[in-house]
Amino acid sequence: MSDDLNLETRTGLPDPLRVLLAAYPRDGWTTDPGFDDLIRFWLDRHLMFRRLLAEMTKTSEALLDHKAEPQRFGTAMSRYGGMFVNQLHQHHQIEDTHYFPVLMQKDDRVARGFDILDADHHAIDRHLSDFVDHANGALQKLDDRDRLQAATGDLHQHLELLKRLLDRHLTDEEELVVPVILKYGVQI
């Protein structure tokens, strides 16, 4: 994949893949007659991922600022991190096996965008694996505050990277998928 389409470096989808977004801009989605429960549910899932990342970031910052006890940090990070990883894997699997194959057939002009989103899923999987390693590394140090602080600093940096990459992906995905559904509808 060229650098301009790589999740780590791109700043958005190329204009040719945004052709439907021009006809169905984000600020009009919720008032469009095609805005249905499927779109609402799907966007709510994306919001959940963003909120979980924000909560884990806030949790790690509280520990780093000595405003949270190690056990409280551990409980919250285990809970939010497990939910985040499991739900995101499930979400991507459903998209890759059910939604994307149907949606990419709706409009040849944007079909290539689904290949980009699929590549994003693979890139995100690698970052999720790194996140799990960093989170587990911190959770294994709950009994040693100095080592926990250092490990949580590393975790926090990775959360910031993951947040940036996931937001880029989710935004691009929303701006590709929602206009396709609004224009053509979809039965999955």
Q: What is the pLDDT of residues 22-37, one digit of tens each?
A: 999 999 999 999 999 9
Q: What is the pLDDT of residues 55-75, one digit of tens each?
A: 999 999 999 999 999 999 999
Q: What is the pLDDT of residue 38?
A: 92
The answer on pLDDT for 179 being more than 80 is yes
Asked if 5 contacts 116 with a C-beta cutoff of 8 angstroms, the reply is yes
Distance, in Å, from the CA atom of 68 to the CA atom of 146, rounded to the nearest integer, reads 14
Mean pLDDT across 105-125? 96
Handedness of CA 160, 171, 128, 89 (dihedral sign): positive
* Pair of tokens at residue 182: 């609004």
Distance, in Å, from the CA atom of 123 to the CA atom of 86, rounded to the nearest integer, reads 16
Q: What is the pLDDT of residue 135?
A: 98
DSSP state of 84: H
Angle between helices 70-94 and 111-139 (to 10 degrees): 160
Q: What is the pLDDT of residue 180?
A: 96
* Pair of tokens at residue 183: 């224009």
Mean pLDDT across 79-86? 98
